[in-house]
Amino acid sequence: MAYAARPRASGYQSVRYSSDIANATDTAKTPLFQLHEAYGAKFVPFGGFSMPVQYSDLSVGDSHNWTREKASLFDVSHMVQHYISGPGAAAFLERITPSSVSVLQNHHSTLSCLLHPTSGGIVDDTIITKLTPEKFYIVTNAACRQKDSHYLGQELKNWREQKQPEVQWETLDGRGLIALQGPLAHEILSAVLPSKSGDLKTLYFGQCKQLTFHLPSGQAVGDVIVSRGGYTGEDGFEISIPGPETASITEMLLESAGPEKLRLAGIGARDSLRLEAGMCLYGHDLDDTTTPVEGALSWIISKDRREKGGFHGSDVILGQLKPKKDGGSGVSRRRIGMVVEGAPAREGAEIVDENGDVVGKVTSGCPSPTLKKNIAMGYIRNGLHKSGTEVHVIVRGRKRKAVITKMPFVPSRYWKGGATPG
């Protein structure tokens, strides 16, 4: 049976978003644009913004390796930051996502997905952080800004028409977001925080603190959200900062650590790092035709949600969790990782079986600077998704051997306790 792409779900705006989207002639600028220029950044359009792809001091590959060995600082202010708050905030989020946010502890986060109401397709992937029982901090993808705005606006309209408990939604436009990533991240951030901020060793992966930073000028910058996590597989922090102070805090980190420990890194290294870490890029590895089960994200569906359902697309998604022999629908395809021999397989390359039948498609691929191998992510027919399965990928008209491989390709080093980080 040949692999076939699924039709798009109807209703919400369905667009395949590209990482180099979009408004290439009219791109926005983050609060760090001038700092990037001063450090010799090369810019590309990304998610509607002019974003640094690399800097003059390091190649993309060298920047990737620097992050794995020391620490890098990424500008991710193009991402969309939101507050969802009010008495109905938790229940609203539990309608549109498969996560049990009501039972999250304060200052804890979870990866989740905004779901299409009927198909269960992924409208966007998101990080949800519970600040208080009635206030949640949410980060969504820049390339999905318009689609997500339409989606959340429509969902809130439906919610209010049903006379549900009040929910407020605020988009934090202009707020900065930087990602400090790498084995020295803990040391670097600790060095600029006052002692009363507490020991970062007790801030574990998936947790956050709301802190005040003190600049060398003596100015105190409050309302800073420091979350432990990131998109590289390394230990690190994502730091949400009031827009006007973003450059000052970034410069303080760079100057305190010095170039022997910390360098700026662009979206070129960020992409290869996230692929080694087995993380998805929306619009490539996930889209609104893909459910969490197909996307190998079943683990984000909380146990109680599997039992009770009640979230968008739950009939479809819960049916997919059960194989056909147990009365479910199962899935026809699954997201997988591969190691490819010869030339690297890029997005769109076909995966074929031993008979030459198309059984899947590559969604992301690149040479791995860490492993010195060609790695790829994609979707393959269910049943061929087990690790060790041998297939072929068509690269430049030639069949290349590939082996289905567990992800992450490079072991993650998130801080969950144990030996001192860094």
Query: Where is the binding site for substrate, in residues?
Result: 238
Sign of CA dihedral 321, 325, 331, 337: positive
**Binding-site positions:** 238
Say whether 70 sits in a helix, a strand or coil: coil
Q: CB within 8 A of 47, min separation 6: which ones? A: 19, 21, 22, 78, 79, 141, 142, 143, 145
In order of 150, 168, 324, the CA distances from 157 in angstroms are 11, 11, 37
Cβ neighbours, 10 Å, residue 100: 19
- Cβ-in-10-Å burial (0-12, 13-18, 19+) of 173 comes to exposed
Backbone angles phi, psi at 269, to 5 degrees: -70, -35
Report the run of H or E that residue 193 belongs to, with start and end: none
The token duo for 242 is: 């009031």
**CA 237 – CA 415 distance, rounded (Å):** 10
CB 306 within 8 A of CB 316: no
Among the listed residues 344, 13, 305, the one whose alpha carbon sits nearest the alpha carbon of residue 153: 13
Among the listed residues 123, 95, 118, 100, the one whose alpha carbon sits nearest the alpha carbon of residue 110: 100
DSSP 167: -
